[in-house]
A and B are shown apart, each in its own frame.
Chain A
Amino acid sequence: MSTDRIVGIDLGTTNSLVAFMQGESPVVIPGDDGSNLVPSVVALDQDNRPFVGNAARNSLIATPERAVYSIKRLMGRGVDDIQEELKFFPFRLAEDLQAGEVLRIRLGERTFTPPEISALILRQLKRNAERFFGAQVTKAVITVPAYFNDAQRQATKDAGRIAGLEVLRLVNEPTAASLAYGLDKKQNGIVAVYDLGGGTFDISILKLHDGIFEVIATNGDTHLGGDDIDNLLITIALDDTLGDLGLDLRRNAGAGQAIRKSVIEAKIALSSQSSVNIDVELPCGKRYLREITREQFEQLIQPIIDRTVGPCKQALKDAGLKPEQIDEVVLVGGSTRIPRVRALVKELFRREPHTDLNPDEVVALGAAVQANILGGGSEATENMLLLDVTPLSLGIEVAGGVTDKIILRNSTIPASATQFYTTQIDGQANVAIHVLQGERELAKDCRSLARFDLKGIPPMAAGMARIEVKFLIDANGILHVSAREQRSGKEAEIQVQPSYGLTDEQVEGMILDSFDSAEEDFRQRQVIEARNEATTILAALDKGKKSPAWGHLTTDEKKKIAKMEKALIAVQAEDDYQGIRKAIDALNQGTTRLAELMMDSAVSVALKGKTMDEADMGEGPTAPHPMAKAEFE
């Protein structure tokens, strides 16, 4: 059964998390450093091996050219759409990038596509879950911003595949959050989810009734979030240093990262303090000092957070609702900790928003709930069903460069539309179809998804062929197309030229790279982890031997423990992780009384009911939490 475990993953711009349903409630699985949040940062070590998370984030200042963050901003996008991003983010594009090619980012001497970088983050989460379960994890539900288009969704799915995960479902982040909130409430009503994260903004309006979570309307901006606030503060600091010190740090990536780190800390601190001091050591030896009051900060960010108003109003309009008709408002995403954002939401929806669940974790928890539903459900998720919508209209280009919308935004998915095509000239064998996504009237203003060529149409007089093309958006929000010539009943061949994104072959190649060693990696990791655990328990035993409690054991007990200790030491050096585990378990059992005695004699604290192994776990690193930093400053 454990191999069938499906995890829920929040692949965020700033942080990523993995969660699963433990009994009747979802829980986040911590990383090996004890942290629930894995920073979405990927870096390369000296041997060009990638590493992920807090360690990678910490390497940003020392080796910025070997690290990348906020990769989510580049998912499913072409070089033309990221010109704005390049002004503010230190993304280093591969020099040999060809027009129309999927983006490649340079890390040290290697280059990676955005799905590959995301896959490295996913692989870390997968490992964290595998360590937690002691078994392989191969299936996942991954969340995406509700306003992600087809290409961005496909890129996320590709990332899952590259990481060796079967992505059972892509769930929209605000919808996932509503699942986590709705789990224990089970009430009916209209809920608005306002989700302002590190790089994306979503607003979703849902109708909850009898366990059905029905999205009525959604809107958003896939390039709006905490990153934009950071960039504003960074720009000010760079301007300051240039103006006051005559120091141009624009090309100094390390200094840029030092400034970025301190402004992020300042931003976080300003959610709980009325003013904050920025203090950064600059490469010239001088310090950059600046006080920012909350008032100044709020003025500064107002234009950014005001950009969330339009989508909220549009979503309400599309839902046919007035703000008064919203029963509850839920806040999601780290940026909703900013008091000014909360005030704005209150103004918009005229009620106090809910913040019961940690806004950083709620999406991952919801993904775990959806994973549970897909896995067949449990008592907690019985009767729960998610009905989501497509955020953007799907259209095809017709004569004159006009978009003909065939599936309108906010249609419940899966959704489909059938179009009929014919030939213009005698014996025409091919018909080209250009598929678009977006709300604008002209094709050039919409997002180009792909060009399809219908091929192999039987020779007929012009206008005689009747080709039925079916467009289907699946429950992941991803488009599928099929075609049939009706008169001949012949299936028309479809050749896809994706406007963005990797081909199947490319993805396959990327998987192989990581898969070649996946099995071996997993086995070795299990051995290493078991060895580490053995070291921990042996160290704890040494400590126990020196404690007064040791003297209270009988000679027989001591003899038994010594025997088990020897057995563990002997097996520890071998490659047999199951043997090591067995020896650990035996020693754990054998030392239960010692642990109890140690507790009784007050040698150690808070060991109640624990074996030695568990007792020592408490001394591990504590989880770094963004909120804690507010007091850190």
Chain B
Amino acid sequence: MTNSSLTTITAKPVPEETQTCWSCGTMRAVHFCESCGKVQPPAPVDYFTFFGLSRKLNLDIAALDKDFYELSRKLHPDLNARAGSQEQEWSLQQSSLLNDAHRTLKDPIKRTQYLLKLEGVELEEQSKTATEQARSTGQVKKQIVPPDLLEEVFDLNIQLEELRIQKKIGEDDPALIEEIGRQKLELEEKQESLLHELEFRWKMWDGMIQREQNGQPVSEEERKQERDKMVDVLNRRNYIRNLVRDVGEALGN
């Protein structure tokens, strides 16, 4: 520990996955030893592997939660507070990995994004941060308007601009507000339906992974197609989510 207000930890290379428990040496150990219960050094694994899952997207959340709580009971620093400093360090690393993995996998969008990242996809930045950043630096944000939304978005943006102008001069047009509110509802419905579309893409992806697991070769072309379709759904969903947020802000809620 070097500094008190913000401590730093040394970045140590993560040890290779061990085959035996470092303490009792008997068991094949993953996160903790089945035999003596000791926390093991964290292995450099992705979140799916951490939970012993294959890279499928349709997840049994109840089972994931159950594993999460069971592993928490072994890995949490509170339960390793009397161990040696090295074990405490591993417990902290393992426990944060467990929490990060659980948090990412239990959320449908985060889970999909994470899988795509593992598959080497760089997702388009649609976040509010990117918007703010673009605004403040004057850069044009990289953002693709989904073609089927072009016309609608164009109209909506004109109406939003009108609303902002009216607000500035202290007027308000109840009909305009109602119209924008109606469109917001529509967008929210669309956002919801895109989640169903995403679930359908999961099914396709999982089927492909299953075929692969069954020993049938999957072409890189097919893999790429499935990825691209998911990216497309995510992009459209993000776009609509941001739109809903902008409309909400313009309406003042």
Footprint of A on B, CB under 8 Å? 1-11, 13, 69, 72-73, 76-79, 81-82, 92-93, 95-97, 99-100, 102-103, 128-129, 132-133, 135-137
Determine the distance from Cα of A411 to Cα of B10 in the docked complex, in whole angstroms: 23
Query: Is the CB of A482 closer than 8 A to any CB of chain B?
Result: yes
13 A-B pairs in the complex with CB atoms less than 8 angstroms apart:
A158-B4, A169-B78, A209-B69, A212-B69, A387-B72, A411-B103, A412-B102, A413-B99, A414-B99, A416-B97, A441-B132, A475-B92, A504-B3
Contact code string A386-427 (vs B, CB < 8 Å = 1, else 0): 110000000000111111110000011111110000000000
Query: Is the CB of A474 closer than 8 A to any CB of chain B?
Result: yes
Q: If A414-B95, A450-B6 touch, does A373 touch B78 (CB 8 Å cutoff)?
A: yes
Q: Are A154 and B136 in contact (CB under 8 A)?
A: no
Q: Are B8 and A489 in contact (CB under 8 A)?
A: no
Q: Are B72 and A484 in contact (CB under 8 A)?
A: no
Q: Are B92 and A402 in contact (CB under 8 A)?
A: no
Q: 9 closest Cβ contacts across the A-B interface?
A: A498-B5, A501-B5, A400-B136, A414-B96, A482-B11, A374-B81, A450-B6, A484-B11, A416-B96
Determine the distance from Cα of A402 to Cα of B134 in the docked complex, in whole angstroms: 10
Query: Is the CB of A150 closer than 8 A to any CB of chain B?
Result: yes
Cross-interface CB contact of A404 among B8, B81, B102, B129, cutoff 8 Å: B129
Instruction: Pick from B13, B102, B133, B135 the residue with the most CB of A within 10 Å.
Output: B133
Q: Are A480 and B3 in contact (CB under 8 A)?
A: no
Determine the distance from Cα of A479 to Cα of B220 in the docked complex, in whole angstroms: 41
Determine the distance from Cα of A405 to Cα of B95 in the docked complex, in whole angstroms: 21
Q: Are A398 and B133 in contact (CB under 8 A)?
A: yes
Contact code string A467-486 (vs B, CB < 8 Å = 1, else 0): 01010111100111111100
Q: If A387-B72, A415-B100, A481-B8 touch, does A475 touch B77 (CB 8 Å cutoff)?
A: yes
Q: A432-473: which residues lie under 8 A (CB-CB) from chain B?
A: 435, 441-442, 449-450, 452, 468, 470, 472-473
Q: Are B77 and A474 in contact (CB under 8 A)?
A: yes
Q: Are B133 and A400 in contact (CB under 8 A)?
A: yes
Determine the distance from Cα of A449 to Cα of B6 in the docked complex, in whole angstroms: 8
Q: Are A506 and B7 in contact (CB under 8 A)?
A: no
Q: How far is the CB of A141 from chain B (nearest CB, A)?
A: 10
Q: How far is the CB of A460 from chain B (nearest CB, A)?
A: 18
Interface residues of A, CB < 8 Å — how many?
A: 66
Q: Which residues of B contact A482 (CB under 8 A)?
A: 8-11
Q: Are A154 and B6 in contact (CB under 8 A)?
A: yes
Query: Is the CB of A137 closer than 8 A to any CB of chain B?
Result: no
Q: How far is the CB of B91 from chain A (nearest CB, A)?
A: 9
Q: Are A496 and B6 in contact (CB under 8 A)?
A: yes
Q: If A154-B4, A399-B133 touch, does A385 touch B78 (CB 8 Å cutoff)?
A: yes
Q: Are A375 and B82 in contact (CB under 8 A)?
A: yes
Q: A337-390: which residues lie under 8 A (CB-CB) from chain B?
A: 370, 373-376, 383, 385-387
Determine the distance from Cα of A464 to Cα of B182 in the docked complex, in whole angstroms: 49
Determine the distance from Cα of A117 to Cα of B109 in the docked complex, in whole angstroms: 48
Q: Which residues of B contact A500 (CB under 8 A)?
A: 5
Q: A154-B4, A481-B8 are in contact. List 11 more A-B contacts (CB 8 A).
A: A150-B6, A376-B82, A387-B76, A401-B136, A452-B6, A472-B9, A475-B95, A480-B7, A492-B11, A498-B3, A504-B3
Q: Which residues of A contact B73 (CB under 8 A)?
A: 212, 383, 385
Determine the distance from Cα of A311 to Cα of B92 in the docked complex, in whole angstroms: 30
Q: Which residues of A contact B97 (CB under 8 A)?
A: 416
Query: Is the CB of A293 closer than 8 A to any CB of chain B?
Result: no
Q: Which residues of B contact A449 (CB under 8 A)?
A: 6
Q: Are A435 and B133 in contact (CB under 8 A)?
A: no
Determine the distance from Cα of A170 to Cα of B13 in the docked complex, in whole angstroms: 29
Q: Are A475 and B5 in contact (CB under 8 A)?
A: no
Q: Which residues of A contact B13 (CB under 8 A)?
A: 489
Q: Are A402 and B3 in contact (CB under 8 A)?
A: no
Determine the distance from Cα of A373 to Cα of B81 in the docked complex, in whole angstroms: 9
Contact code string A565-579 (vs B, CB < 8 Å = 1, else 0): 000000000000000
Query: Is the CB of A11 closer than 8 A to any CB of chain B?
Result: no
Determine the distance from Cα of A413 to Cα of B9 in the docked complex, in whole angstroms: 17
Determine the distance from Cα of A387 to Cα of B65 in the docked complex, in whole angstroms: 13
B79: nearest chain-A partner, CB-CB: A385
A151: nearest chain-B partner, CB-CB: B5
Q: Which residues of A contact B11 (CB under 8 A)?
A: 468, 470, 482-484, 491-492
Q: Which residues of A contact B132 (CB under 8 A)?
A: 400, 402, 441-442
Footprint of B on A, CB under 8 Å? 150-151, 154, 158, 168-169, 209-210, 212, 370, 373-376, 383, 385-387, 398-405, 411-417, 435, 441-442, 449-450, 452, 468, 470, 472-475, 478-484, 489, 491-492, 494, 496, 498-504, 506-507
Q: Are A398 and B79 in contact (CB under 8 A)?
A: no
Cross-interface CB contact of B7 among A210, A400, A403, A478, cutoff 8 Å: A478
Cross-interface CB contact of A479 among B6, B76, B82, cutoff 8 Å: B6
Cross-interface CB contact of B4 among A385, A403, A491, A502, cutoff 8 Å: A502
Q: How far is the CB of A82 from chain B (nearest CB, A)?
A: 17
Q: Which residues of A contact B3 (CB under 8 A)?
A: 496, 498, 503-504
Determine the distance from Cα of A387 to Cα of B69 in the docked complex, in whole angstroms: 10
Q: Are A503 and B4 in contact (CB under 8 A)?
A: yes
Q: Are B100 and A416 in contact (CB under 8 A)?
A: yes
B69: nearest chain-A partner, CB-CB: A212
Q: If A416-B97, A435-B6 touch, does A374 touch B78 (CB 8 Å cutoff)?
A: yes
Cross-interface CB contact of A496 among B8, B77, B136, cutoff 8 Å: B8
Q: Which residues of A contact B92 (CB under 8 A)?
A: 414, 472, 474-475
Q: Which residues of B contact A212 (CB under 8 A)?
A: 69, 72-73
Q: Which residues of B contact A452 (CB under 8 A)?
A: 6
Cross-interface CB contact of B103 among A154, A169, A415, cutoff 8 Å: A415
Determine the distance from Cα of A7 to Cα of B244 in the docked complex, in whole angstroms: 51
Q: If A387-B72, A441-B128, A489-B13 touch, does A475 touch B78 (CB 8 Å cutoff)?
A: yes
Q: How far is the CB of A39 from chain B (nearest CB, A)?
A: 28
Instruction: Pick from B11, B72, B132, B135 the residue with the most CB of A within 10 Å.
Output: B11
Q: How far is the CB of A482 from chain B (nearest CB, A)?
A: 4
Q: Which residues of A contact B4 (CB under 8 A)?
A: 154, 158, 498, 501-504, 506-507
Q: Which residues of A contact B72 (CB under 8 A)?
A: 212, 385, 387
Determine the distance from Cα of A73 to Cα of B50 in the docked complex, in whole angstroms: 42
Q: How far is the CB of A310 from chain B (nearest CB, A)?
A: 15
Q: How far is the CB of A62 from chain B (nearest CB, A)?
A: 36
Q: Which residues of B contact A158 (CB under 8 A)?
A: 4
Q: Which residues of A contact B77 (CB under 8 A)?
A: 414, 474-475
Q: How far is the CB of A466 from chain B (nearest CB, A)?
A: 14
Determine the distance from Cα of A489 to Cα of B14 in the docked complex, in whole angstroms: 12
Q: Which residues of A contact B69 (CB under 8 A)?
A: 209-210, 212
Q: Which residues of A contact B128 (CB under 8 A)?
A: 441
B2: nearest chain-A partner, CB-CB: A504
Q: Which residues of B contact A403 (CB under 8 A)?
A: 129
Q: How far is the CB of B54 from chain A (nearest CB, A)?
A: 23
Q: How far is the CB of A569 from chain B (nearest CB, A)?
A: 45
A4: nearest chain-B partner, CB-CB: B82
Q: Which residues of B contact A154 (CB under 8 A)?
A: 4-6
Q: How far is the CB of A421 from chain B (nearest CB, A)?
A: 13
A407: nearest chain-B partner, CB-CB: B100
Q: Which residues of B contact A478 (CB under 8 A)?
A: 7
Q: Which residues of B contact A435 (CB under 8 A)?
A: 6
Q: Which residues of B contact A475 (CB under 8 A)?
A: 76-78, 92, 95
Determine the distance from Cα of A502 to Cα of B9 in the docked complex, in whole angstroms: 18
Instruction: Pick from A401, A416, A506, A507 the residue with the most CB of B within 10 Å.
Output: A416
Q: Which residues of B contact A374 (CB under 8 A)?
A: 78, 81-82
Q: How far is the CB of A46 from chain B (nearest CB, A)?
A: 33
Q: How far is the CB of B203 from chain A (nearest CB, A)?
A: 26
Determine the distance from Cα of A403 to Cα of B131 in the docked complex, in whole angstroms: 12
